Structure 1
Amino acid sequence: MSTRALLHVSAFSLSQVNSQRLFSVEYAVKLLKKLADDGNFKLGKVVHALLVVSSHASEDHTIQNNCLINLYSRCGQLAVARRVFDRLSQRNVASWSILMAGYLHNGYAWEVTKLFKDMISVDKIFPNEYVLSTVLSSCSSGRLLHEGRQCHALVLKSGLMFHQYVKNALLSLYTMSSDMEGVLETLKSVPGLDIITYNSVLKGFLDHGYTSEALDVFSRMLADGSAGDSVSYVNIFGLCARLKDLKLGKQVHCRMLKSGLQLDVFLSSAIVDMYGKCGEISGARYIFDSYPNHNVVSWTAILAANFQNECFEEALKLFLRMEFQDVVPNEYTFAVLLNSCAGLSALGCGKTLHARVEKRGHGAFVVVGNALINMYFRSGHIEAARALFSNMISRDTVTWNMIISGFSHHGLGEEALDVFQHMLAVEEQPNYVTFVGVLLACGHLGRIEEGFYYLQHLMRDIGLEPGLEHYTCVVGLLGKAGKLDEAENFMRSTPITWDVVAWRTLLNACNVHRNYDLGKRVAEHLLQLNPNDVGTYILLSNMHAKVKRWDGVAKIRKLLRERNIKKEPGLSWTEIRNETHVFVSDDTQHPETAQIHEKVRKLLADIKPLGYVPDTTSVLHDVEQEQQEGYLSYHSEKLAVAYALMKTPSQAPIHVIKNLRICDDCHSALKLISKVTMRMIVVRDVNRFHSFQDGSCSCADYW
């Protein structure tokens, strides 16, 4: 029977002579429960009035009044519920429990703890499992850890520790309060958790970085006979992704398949994310293609997997498929796409996405703003990135890191450190990544003492332990200043396992400062770490050439041939009217090759009066000088710059991407070309950005 039908019968019974018999307490209780479930405050008041008129509303009818308290509480009328409660001549544990639950569900966690104290001290009523779970839940939602621990002590005293509601509430309390030690202690003392609790604990451990404990909980869940549900596996795949543990991920995937658990869109997305973050893009694509019903979450997961594995073009192609299927992108989708554009330095595509972001109203999301800043910085458009940062309504630590790192990679050390000081002034907490950008900025500016202050004092004052990336920045800082012995001593004395990047940083400093003896030792050590690292061979060869040790150059080239180590072909590309033009050295495939080569020859002729002399130290030395200069003339970056100069307006900056380190000769030439053409030329090579303007470079000839 519907609520209105019940009420109609009640109203009819009131008009009868024997209304006391027809409108019974049992009937009123049933009706009030139904109205509470429906949240029907309006009809609830009518029933209450009927009870009053029919003389059934008495402070002695505890069960009936408990139902009234429940009705008013669930309808958000706590003041009315409290008046009914206060007028009760006799209150039982249910009366207290119902009112507490009402306060909890309406967001008054602190009031629940006050009621709990009154129940024990005033009415001398000992709590049952429902009261305890309600109080613990209120402590959880109100972050009242101290009160929650007091209640935990009472739970232990009551012997109700093993009740499912109480166990769940205790674990939720410690999880929500970030007290993972409390979670661990509770887990040790209470067996037999249900799947909901297991999932809650799993997520809590993952959210707080307790990865090994999360694995233990998952193992315990399986040992308890629970097969796990979709939520369990979403959590554990998230753990595998965080650890980048492909082997574990495959084991969990196999376990899931054996359990017979059916894929849903969230589970398939979690598996795609796991394979993507573990570097198995083929596995991610297989799972994605095998599940037919995709939404924006699953599409964003596969886009992110491609981005994380540097398959930037594939991510953008998949987005076209996503749009063809009429799936509307969200802010996370746009963030992945913009970061993919950043990886390609595809400014045209990035600008198109930026326009769509603004049109859809996603520009206010911090994750999108961060991706836009990254895209513009990686495309060499510093002012656009700066303007975005200035106009952002809200920022997070990633935002600050993006702008500091962006300025640092462009050689704008002063700007990077100014932003860092601003970050401290607004009390935004720096993190591990922040100080990588800060130390890099100190390196560009040659501020050795300031760099060591940040490393040895400020980081530790904040509670951060320096890592390999920070120490590598210090090696670069000392190396750029020409303090090569100090840099080597720093590496030898610092108790850390140095990687190839760190040693190559020192080798590069030896190359720039022409310290052949130290460079040779460092290179030999590098080749022990990685005998197939072509970059080390090239740097060592360049060092030999700079000090005119041609026998050393010949030896390196012979080693490369004997070990079948091939140098990656040099490529440079530039984007003109949203079309990317790719060049290789001595390129003859471009349809405008003749015009491009002629432009290069003219540019080189224009800069010779300014002192340009081709630097032939990094080309083959078994050919004539004229032929060596010919090789240099048509290096890929020169061709790309020449083409961009031909095709862009006279005041527009030139943007070129190079897949390898820019060679010494091209670097010298582009400085002078920027002067004679009065154009800014921005080249992003494998190491950093070079902003050439008016005859100088932002790297100060150190790269």
Structure 2
Amino acid sequence: MLKAQRKAYVPFRHAPLLLRPNAVTPSSTLDPIKLLKLSADTTNLKIGKTIHAHLIVTYQATENNIIEVNSLINFYAKVNQVSIAHNLFDRMPERNVVSWSALMTGYLLNGFSLKVITLLKDMVSEANVSPNEYIFAIAISSCCDRGRLEEGRQCHGLLLKTGFSFHNYVRNALVSMYSKCSVVQDAMGVWNEVPVNDIVAYNSILSRLVENGYLMEGLEVLRSMVSESLKWDKVTFVNAFSLCASLKNLRLGLHVHGKMLTSDVDCDAYVSSAIINMYGKCGKSLMARGLFNGLQSRNVVLWTAVMAAYFQNGCFEEALNLFSKMEQENVKSNEFTHAVLLNACAGLSALRNGSLLHGHSEKSGFKHHVMVGNALINMYAKSGDIEAAKNVFSDMMHRDIITWNAMICGFSHHGLGKKTLLVFYDMLAAEENPNYVTFTGVLSACGHLGLVQEGFYYLHHLMKRFGVQPGLEHYTCIVSLLSKTGQLNEAWNFMRTAPVKWDVVAWRTLLNACHVHQNYGLGRWVAEFVLEMDPNDVGTYTLLSNIYAKEKRWDGVVKIRKLMRDKNIKKEPGVSWIEIGNVTHIFTSEDNKHPDYGQTYQKVKELLAMIKPLGYTPDIVLGVLWETYQPPWWLKDIEHVRSPTRAILGHGNQAVIDLTQLDCYSFKKNISKLLLL
């Protein structure tokens, strides 16, 4: 590859010779047209301007020399100097189809899609030149934004009149345009108009469908490829693996992998990364690692693919450990690597590791990459430092929908409802359209603030305005909103009438609210309904037992506990950890191996005595159990030992509040007040 690049640059050494008087008739090495094309392909502005100067002094750049001027337009368009290209175009007394094609391509490459459509209209209105299939392909490619769908349809109609719609690249452009505009029926209609067995065309439609989320249609195309016995190339296999990954279809992925092994396609880094990604998305991180270990040459793309596979399957520590091995092998990381690692730190709530990676990202020059910024916001928000997340968000020069969602969901996760809505309003002001995830965070914020009317407005009106179909998460947020405001009957009626199939989480949300707001009658009914859906849900048994205890129906408590014993339903051991002084302390239920075990539980006892005057009373069920089971049984709840551990190790003014257990919220709220005094 490097040898080919050196060969391509050889003519550039002779380019200055074009300015000499005797260079009027250049040799093939110094052909200005070829040099302009090479300058355009390599985006070498300096050499291209040198050639332009030569054409001027030799009178070859006059408006009548169409070939030379077209070459100049093509050059300037491809080196981001489209305004110069347009000036040259405007001065031409006569233009051919190449002139129009070069300028339209330049505008397309520079992101001015609307200008491409304007040029097509101007071209059609000129009687002396007609657009060909290349012009139509460029114009259709410029209509891939949702806002340009109507123009795309008009181009399609004009194509049908001119007869150019049968060309493969035109048809591929139409398929791409309709797919990206989310009109998959029209995309498949174009595809089915003309039967072909061209592997390039199949690759195009398959990649577009997978890229835009039309997986069932992609599967249909894949079946057609198999039925026509086409010879698959490298691109085909990569697209097929991407489809399997998106479908999370391991069986199909194994079949495609087997087909590839029996083919003559080279399993290079490009293909291998697609296979690793497929196994990772299908939940087989060990298979992904096994494939990776068997590769002789491993670049940063492959390392990152395996880290991503670990991350997708919750193996966050393995992803971070793999990064250490990558550095030992002197493989330089890229922005994708850092994004995966930062998200792994978010999964571990590992603030220290995330902060170190933040510094590493800045030193590596990835500070302004959007995906790295998004991962930083996610990491800081999930690691408890929401202010750091906000600072990263504020410093970002460019933001995409993921950036806004990360900040909105981060504030919402921290219970900062007002700040969540302020970011949402800023997002709308920035003309960024919210999506499914955005409204999940916004509705959750309404729940924190108790904004019932606003919540229903967002659900029924604003989501409809932006074309977002409400899903289970959104309806569950409304149930939570009504439950938190004590409107339990309204929540119950909403669940009966909402057009969604509820899961256990939604019903348990209402059950928790019944327990908090002491609506025990409804709570018992909801609990029984949940247990019909999930007979082994330990949390529901515990809450139902608490409800019976609050009603002093001890026979009900005994009945529930006997039922749990008979079904062998036990509370899963919990695991918790906390970082103090660059050391991660890990706790498990009934943990007696930690070096500070004795001190920690002694501190819990002291804190219990100190917070009772602040209004803390244990849950009544815990109170009953206290009489039956002596300490340290109750003190073995891991969620009660993290904050005391901070206090013991000299960080008592930074108590962590993390609501995960039934009685923990009240306990931690009071000790946090105490430690902050």
Measured against the shorter chain, the TM-score band is: 0.7 to 0.9
Aligned mate of 2:665, from 664, 667, 670: 667
Does 2:454 match 1:423? no
What aligned pairs does 1:278-297 form with structure 2 within 5 A after superposition? 278-297=282-301
Q: Which blocks of at least 5 consecutive residues in structure 1 are unaligned?
A: 15-22, 60-64, 88-94, 680-703
1:648 is paired with a residue whose SS is coil
Q: How far 1:405 moved relative to its partner?
A: 1.9
d(CA) in 2 for partners of 1:326 and 1:365? 23
Q: How far 1:594 moved relative to its partner?
A: 2.7
Aligned mate of 2:410, from 406, 416, 420: 406
Superposed CA deviations along residues 59-115 of structure 1, whole A, max 9, x for unmatched, are 9xxxxx77656665655597999799858xxxxxxx934444444555495697478
Does 2:446 match 1:442? yes
Does 2:136 match 1:132? no
The residue that corresponds to 1:596 in the other structure is 600
Q: Is the 8 A contact 1:573 1:657 kept in 2?
A: no
Q: How far 1:568 moved relative to its partner?
A: 0.8
d(CA) in 2 for partners of 1:113 and 1:164? 20
Q: What percent identity do the matched residue pairs reach?
A: 47
Q: How far 1:576 moved relative to its partner?
A: 0.9
The residue that corresponds to 1:646 in the other structure is 648
d(CA) in 2 for partners of 1:364 and 1:145? 32
2:431 is paired with a residue whose SS is coil
Q: Is the 8 A contact 2:139 2:155 kept in 1?
A: no
1:637 is paired with a residue whose SS is helix
Q: Is the 8 A contact 1:614 1:629 kept in 2?
A: no
Pair 111,444 (structure 1): closer, same or farther in 2 beyond 3 Å: closer
The residue that corresponds to 2:4 in the other structure is none
Higher relative contact order (CA 8 A, sep 6+): 1
Pair 32,155 (structure 1): closer, same or farther in 2 beyond 3 Å: farther
Q: How far 1:528 moved relative to its partner?
A: 2.1
Count residues in correspondence: 636
d(CA) in 2 for partners of 1:468 and 1:165? 41
Q: Is the 8 A contact 1:140 1:177 kept in 2?
A: no
What aligned pairs does 1:453-602 form with structure 2 within 5 A after superposition? 453-602=457-606
Pair 530,162 (structure 1): closer, same or farther in 2 beyond 3 Å: same
d(CA) in 1 for partners of 2:292 and 2:254? 16
Does 2:394 match 1:390? yes
The residue that corresponds to 2:345 in the other structure is 341
d(CA) in 1 for partners of 2:451 and 2:151? 51
d(CA) in 2 for partners of 1:13 and 1:410? 71
After the TM superposition, which of the residue ranges 245-254 and 27-36 deviates more from structure 2?
27-36
Q: Is the 8 A contact 1:44 1:71 kept in 2?
A: no
Letter matched to residue 280 of structure 1: K
Pair 318,602 (structure 1): closer, same or farther in 2 beyond 3 Å: same
Q: Which blocks of at least 5 consecutive residues in structure 2 are unaligned?
A: 1-9, 40-46, 77-83, 108-114
d(CA) in 2 for partners of 1:418 and 1:46? 58
Q: Is the 8 A contact 2:73 2:88 kept in 1?
A: yes
2:641 is paired with a residue whose SS is helix
Superposed CA deviations along residues 475-522 of structure 1, whole A, max 9, x for unmatched, are 111222222222122111222111111111111112222333322222
Please, what TM-score do these two structures have when normalized by structure 1?
0.79
Pair 379,72 (structure 1): closer, same or farther in 2 beyond 3 Å: closer
Letter matched to residue 195 of structure 2: P
Q: Is the 8 A contact 1:35 1:71 kept in 2?
A: no
The residue that corresponds to 2:676 in the other structure is 678
Pair 671,302 (structure 1): closer, same or farther in 2 beyond 3 Å: same
Pair 450,674 (structure 1): closer, same or farther in 2 beyond 3 Å: same
d(CA) in 2 for partners of 1:322 and 1:73? 45
Superposed CA deviations along residues 579-611 of structure 1, whole A, max 9, x for unmatched, are 111223453211222322332232223233434
Q: How far 1:117 moved relative to its partner?
A: 4.2
Letter matched to residue 639 of structure 1: V
Q: How far 1:374 moved relative to its partner?
A: 1.8
Pair 543,191 (structure 1): closer, same or farther in 2 beyond 3 Å: same
What aligned pairs does 1:136-535 form with structure 2 within 5 A after superposition? 136-143=136-143, 156=160, 162-164=166-168, 167=171, 183-192=187-196, 194-535=198-539
1:575 is paired with a residue whose SS is strand
d(CA) in 2 for partners of 1:592 and 1:134? 74
Pair 13,603 (structure 1): closer, same or farther in 2 beyond 3 Å: closer
2:434 is paired with a residue whose SS is coil
Q: Is the 8 A contact 2:657 2:669 kept in 1?
A: no
The residue that corresponds to 1:96 in the other structure is 96
Does 2:627 match 1:624? yes
Does 2:638 match 1:636? yes
d(CA) in 2 for partners of 1:323 and 1:174? 43
Pair 553,260 (structure 1): closer, same or farther in 2 beyond 3 Å: farther
d(CA) in 1 for partners of 2:347 and 2:221? 38
The residue that corresponds to 1:693 in the other structure is none
Q: Is the 8 A contact 2:377 2:389 kept in 1?
A: yes
d(CA) in 2 for partners of 1:160 and 1:482? 64
Letter matched to residue 534 of structure 2: N
Superposed CA deviations along residues 282-326 of structure 1, whole A, max 9, x for unmatched, are 333333333332222222222122112111111111111121222
1:655 is paired with a residue whose SS is coil
Pair 339,545 (structure 1): closer, same or farther in 2 beyond 3 Å: farther
RMSD: 4.0
Pair 278,101 (structure 1): closer, same or farther in 2 beyond 3 Å: same
d(CA) in 2 for partners of 1:249 and 1:613? 56
Letter matched to residue 274 of structure 1: M
d(CA) in 2 for partners of 1:79 and 1:549? 85
Pair 433,152 (structure 1): closer, same or farther in 2 beyond 3 Å: closer
Pair 132,167 (structure 1): closer, same or farther in 2 beyond 3 Å: farther
2:521 is paired with a residue whose SS is helix
